[in-house]
Structure 1
């Protein structure tokens, strides 16, 4: 390979054709990100903002005299030498690099003038990680459509497994009996005392010990070992039939005797003809005597156990009868676990007994046997309890009656001795009088202290001699004097004298005899006001002395009242309690005697168990519904798990996140049977999306050579390329469509032209190009098909890597407004990577709900690592 000359600044082109396309220095991503963060480079190109966010774009700068600025190295290595860029250029902390007036792709203003600005993402593919946001309902529907086969298989598999288990499991039958527990109205003293509280509790709420104990006790007795073990032993439930399947033990084997000590093991009866069976055993821990032969209708013994095959089987005897004897204790553990005894509703006195067994006759016999045994037990207990209750209540009533007479006699003697009639009222009256005196005494004490202090303060003030007001006038402001008529008269007199003195001073002086007479009269009244205050204070002291003496006298009388009242209350309480107890015992004695005479049972049977003709479990209809529901869940889980494990592109955000570039267009599903929908259905939504894509690509000028690539097959690369070329030509452009898929290219079939010669087969492009009818518009479209397979057997990679490939594409770039190159899948062959080198930009095509995000991410990263410029993504099969 010919060594390419270094580009400007001594930087060697990192990939073929890079020196021709980028005539400027490529800066490190960290440098570019630093420029954006510092605001030195504006976002004048598409993709500049993502570049600032991710900090991983390639900034292409062109020398422009007079425009220099210092650049900083990587933040992690600030102050040190940065790593080399290319081979010769090193960035220092204070390195200066040229910055153009407008950031653009080199070649827009010099060199090859046909180069136009286009976004240049980071060649290393540095970007934010792809985020899997899960599935919403709409996306889940698309996923179900895409993976409908998996969903249907999981659904049918789950339904098949559940239904197979339904028909393989041994059916069990449920029998039910019920009884009513009578409320124990005569439940003793505690029951009678708590009956009122029970009535106040809302319906459905039960508190321990209030009305619920009798029902809970009966439920406990019903499930006790004393009741259940006897019935289970009589039915020999520890003998279980194993073969034939779905047969009833009572139809094939009659258990005459098999006690709790029966030996464990599995016993098999094999029919040898003429109604005779051979007996064998296995799993027995001790030696068990077996009969030599067993005949239908005859009793046979197996160790300590006795059985009989019913004579009804003689016409058609079963070939094999196998039954198992399990330990009685193990059977009892399982029985008490499976036996359900309880109430359907809280607060109900109706108790139900339910049991499930493979034999409906045994299920009915068990619940009815428990009910019968419990009735017998309850009746015997009730009779003995009634007789015992009458004796106990009679004895208690006699003792409490004697105690009540003694307490009443002592109370009468105490009242006569202490002369008490109504001690509560007497004590209340005495306490009220003491309280009134205490309140009066406190009020007098407070008033006396306040007045004495007030008078002391006034006496301490000097009396003015110049005719000013005396401080004794302030005594009239004391709260008690405000309501005193004498003090009010003094105040009125002082006011009149003050007015007269003021009138005299208008015409006379202070030394005038009339003025002095008025002044002396004022002083005299003020002195009388003080004397009145002193007399009032002495009266308060006298009242205090009298009230204190009265309080002391009443206090002596009150000292004995609490003792008398407490003693009286205690004696009255004893009499009242004993009276209530005697009344309750008398009522209880009457009820007990009536109960003994009636001998009524506390429980009554309501329903008895019956033989059910339909199994309680499993039920095929219910199993089918449940299996469909479970299968749906399993199918949904499988689809969601598959989508989560290998997420596909489901939205614009997913495509942008995976590819690290914007979505240029979202092309809806094209009309069926119309690959060239831009020409056949120009009004379709897909055609509108392609037309919008043309406007997007034409923004800023012609894009040159555009490679249409995709991660895999089925994304719609060729369809997008063909329709994009048609739409561009219909808008008046000169378009060249190159079929770069030298292996399976089919653009010639889509456009209806011959495949030979191909664009790499001839030396001139005029002979390889095929003119395509666009149907409208003033532009032109020429298809350059892939051609036939070479006769020399050259590999497509060798043909695409030849220098002629770049030469042909450069010639097409000069002659046409845009050159669209259709490429093979990136994930299958390396052809697309070779075609991306001479291309100006690459457009990735991804199919919604089909292209995996990881595959799209890997395709974009592969292109960037090869130095290609990924301009954006076209999302096919998208919603409009």
Structure 2
């Protein structure tokens, strides 16, 4: 075993050759072999067993599973599609109807033009809420009886007169007519009888139903199942089914409704939009009517306030008409200032009184000066009051005349002249008696007039002081009248406008496009159901076959060998239908060519440096290890290499039958020293191929395989043969294959598609990690050229044949064993 070449990594393995680990204790089941084995102290050989897992392998395995079970997938998909087609018979197409409502919007720029009309009822965003309001939908539900649902659409004509009264009992009911057609019975779904009456009577009186079937509708034996719900719940369902949207300007409201019955859903939508327009018109009319009533009440109140204010103002004017007032007097053209007569009279009296005082004081001053000196009385003549006194002015004139006459007489006569004296006496009388007396009388008159003026001024002053409060009160009353008049005028105008708007009110919404029954459904679920059934069943089939494949413990595809087990595949052997056929048979030719490929791969993997010793085994029984061993030996011998095939299955070996030789004596006989090597080595009908059978069965045959005699036998055979193949029992049979693998140092594993258990192979191969056995690779047996294995077959027409004139002796290729 010292000349055995060092182990090399698998050609398909990316892992470097690990370092040799120190010897480990033998595994369970090997005590006898290891206790006295010549291989004591041998180190384990790094195994190529490296399970790999990646996503690519998973997808490849999935594709392989689908390819293997494609008819199962097709069958499941077909059945699922047929179920989907059958299910579409219970589905009804869905129709969609649409109606358009025009919403009038008021433009503030055109309010001053056109007829008088009321304001817009709602804002643009509120029209959608009105559409889904119960004042609209409840009416539609009751008119169309949407709260009652018959089980069969054909029974809808029976409920044309169906109505409910509050309170009523909702629920599911069954109406059954007896065979005679004269009586009916109303049941609950639980079978409880609620009413039994003659045909023609009201149905469901005690339940709140107002329902009388039309004549001839209740035929003998007719059974009608129906469900009665509340109108509000039906309105809620209708609101959820309605879809509405407005444009950006809010002038167009698009309403859509879907359902299974095209005519019914059209009737429902038209009823909704008509009720919607009617409700909008009623709301606007009611709004204008209420507005007119409110304005009328406000107008009456404003009129009452105006009359009260006018009466109070009138009474005030009547009471103060004779009193001074600070009223504005119209200004005459060309006059800059116009004073109030009362105020002017007051100031005139004050001026007059002041003038009287000054005149009085001037007269008194003149009298005082005249008494103290011979002052002139001419100063009196310039006083206004003196000028208005005829007597005093006449006296002053006489004084002036007499003084002038005196001066004239003085110029002509002497003082003794009588006329001069007489004139002098007259002047003196006037100056000393007449004028002072008249002046004093005038002073007394002026003083009296002054006192009278003071009294008048005091009275006028009191009147003038009352003018501002009266003016303020008058202004307040005047404003109250103006405000009341303005309010009355405004309300009267609004009231008239409201009456005109009410009389000629135009609805804010109108139906622009009514709904029409569609001919083509908007949503036909039948194709989708069929497609979904097909895809679902296909997915179910794919998942099923993938799970079935993952649960399958047997080898199915090459990736399971290279990735799950982690071993390289040295060759793939096709399925052989007839082993006895000659090399001219297509299947036999495929096997022969596959064996040549295995021979090449095995030789390359094993390497040179001496004869090739290989143990051939498999995880279980029936994997074809003996078939591979025999035909591989035949392939090596056909290549001109001297080959020895040893049947190492000392328990139940039967390879001698394929080689047409004797079972005894054989391997156990030479190991037990009961027969020489030359006697147990048997020639075969194939050139360069010799065979050693299993030999006689012994109870301790496994110990013989691990004895020194086995090592000595192999050592002797190495010098005589170029290729030594040992057919061992399966790995699951016991210790024999491991012992033979340690003897040869190399192991070739045979797996059979559809037969070899992956878990068994993994379990048995883990033991090799602790043994000095080099695992060369795997030969996949019994492969059918389809699916992932279709590329492992060989092209037909490239088989070998001997021409008669160039034949080189007897043919060496004789088929398969």
Return the TM-score normalized by structure 2. 0.52
Residues 628, 786 of structure 1: CA spacing in aligned structure 2 closer, same or farther, 3 A cutoff? farther
Secondary structure at the counterpart of residue 353 of structure 1:
strand
Q: Which whole-Å deviations, capped at 9, do the CAs of 1:529-557 have from their partners, x for residues lacking one?
A: xxxxxxxxxxxxxxxxxxxxxxxxxxxxx
Partner of 1:873: 778
CA distance in 2, matches of 1:831, 1:270: 85
Superposed CA offset, 1:109-147 (max 9, x none): xx99xx9xx995348x9x866424355765533221234
**What is the aligned partner in structure 2 of residue 178 from structure 1?**
98
For the Cα contact (< 8 Å) 1:264–1:325, is it kept in 2? yes
Indicate the residue corresponding to 1:268 in structure 2. 174
2:187 pairs with one of 262, 269, 280: 280
The aligned counterpart of 1:323 is 226
Q: Which residue of 1 aligns with 2:642?
A: 734
Provide the residue aligned with 2:194 in structure 1.
Answer: 290
> Contact conserved, 1:841 with 1:871, CA < 8 A, in 2?
yes
Q: CA 1:189 to 1:725, structure 2 compared with 1: closer, same or farther past 3 Å?
A: farther
* Matched residue, 1:355: 258
Asked if the contact 1:296–1:311 (Cα under 8 Å) also holds between the matched residues in 2, the reply is: yes
Whether 1:820 aligns to 2:720 is no
Secondary structure of 1:844's aligned partner? strand
Offset at residue 734 of structure 1 (A): 2.6
In the aligned structure 2, how far is the partner of 1:255 from the partner of 1:614?
A: 30
Partner SS, residue 733 of structure 1:
coil
2:139 corresponds, among 185, 208, 230, to 230
Cα distance in 2, alignment partners of residues 346 and 837 from structure 1: 93
The one of 128, 131, 135 equivalent to 2:53 is 131
SS in 1 for 2:194: coil
Aligned residues of 2:705 and 2:736 also touching (Cα < 8 A): no
Quote the residue 1:369 is aligned against. 271
Determine the C-alpha separation between the residues in 2 that align with 1:636 and 1:47: 37
Deviation at 1:652, TM superposition (A): 7.3
Alignment partners' CA distance in 2, 1:669 and 1:216: 79
Alignment check: 8 A CA contact 1:759 1:786 kept: yes
1:860–1:803 distance in 2 versus 1, CA, 3 Å: same
CA distance, structure 1, for counterparts of residue 233 and residue 665 of structure 2? 86
Structure 1 match to 2:65: 143
Q: CA contact under 8 A between 1:253 and 1:309: conserved in structure 2?
A: yes
Alignment of 1:591-740 (within 5 A): 601-609=509-517, 619=526, 621-641=527-547, 655-656=561-562, 658-659=564-565, 663=568, 665-667=570-572, 669=574, 680-681=588-589, 686-697=594-605, 699-702=607-610, 705-712=613-620, 717-738=625-646
Which of 704, 719, 722 matches 1:803? Answer: 704
Cα deviation 1:249-273 (Å, max 9, x = unaligned):
4156556113575313332234431
Alignment partner of 1:864 out of 745, 749, 769: 769
Structure of greater Rg: 2
CA contact (8 A) 1:172 1:616 kept: no
CA contact (8 A) 1:705 1:809 kept: no
Residue in 2 that maps onto 1:434: none
Task: Look up the SS of the partner of 2:689 in the other structure.
Answer: strand
Structure 1 unmatched runs, 5+:
1-20, 25-42, 61-83, 88-110, 192-212, 390-588
Aligned to 1:47: 9
Q: Structure 1 residue 859: deviation in Å? A: 2.9
Change (3 A) 1:271 1:710: farther
Cross-structure match for 1:476: none
What is the alpha-carbon distance in structure 1 between the residues aligned to residue 638 and residue 8 of structure 2?
Answer: 26
- What number of residue pairs does the alignment pair up? 543
Deviation, 1:627, is: 0.7
TM-score, length-scaled by structure 1: 0.49
Q: Contact 1:736–1:816 at 8 Å: present in 2 too?
A: yes
Name the SS for the 1:144 alignment partner. Answer: helix
Give the 5 Å matches for 1:367-766. 367-378=269-280, 601-609=509-517, 619=526, 621-641=527-547, 655-656=561-562, 658-659=564-565, 663=568, 665-667=570-572, 669=574, 680-681=588-589, 686-697=594-605, 699-702=607-610, 705-712=613-620, 717-738=625-646, 753=660
CA distance 1:745–1:372, change in 2 (3 Å): farther
Could you tell me how far apart the structure 1 residues matched to 2:701 and 2:81 are? 55
Tell me what 2:408 maps to: none
8 Å CA contact retained: 2:643, 2:724? yes
Matches within 5 A, 1:147-158: 147-148=69-70, 151-152=73-74, 154-155=76-77, 158=80
Q: Distance in 1 between matches of 2:248 and 2:637?
A: 81
- Separation of aligned partners in 1, 2:132 and 2:577: 72
CA 1:604/1:671 → structure 2, altered by over 3 Å: closer, same or farther? farther
**Structure 2: any 5+ residue segments left out of the alignment?**
28-36, 112-121, 292-496, 784-788, 793-817
Kept in 1: contact 2:203–2:209 (CA 8 A):
no
Task: Answer yes or no: is the 8 Å Cα contact 2:269–2:515 preserved in 1.
Answer: no
Post-superposition shift, 1:736? 3.4
Inter-partner Cα distance in structure 2 for 1:138 and 1:218: 61
Change in CA separation of 1:234 and 1:130 when aligned onto 2, cut-off 3 Å: same
1:240 to 149, 164, 173: 149
- Report the Cα distance in structure 2 between the residues aligned to 1:119 and 1:190, rounded to whole angstroms: 108
Label 1:837 to 1:152 Cα distance change in 2 as closer, same or farther (>3 A): farther
Q: CA offsets per residue over residues 189-244 of structure 1, 9 Å max, x none?
A: 799xxxxxxxxxxxxxxxxxxxxx988655544333332232223333333334xx
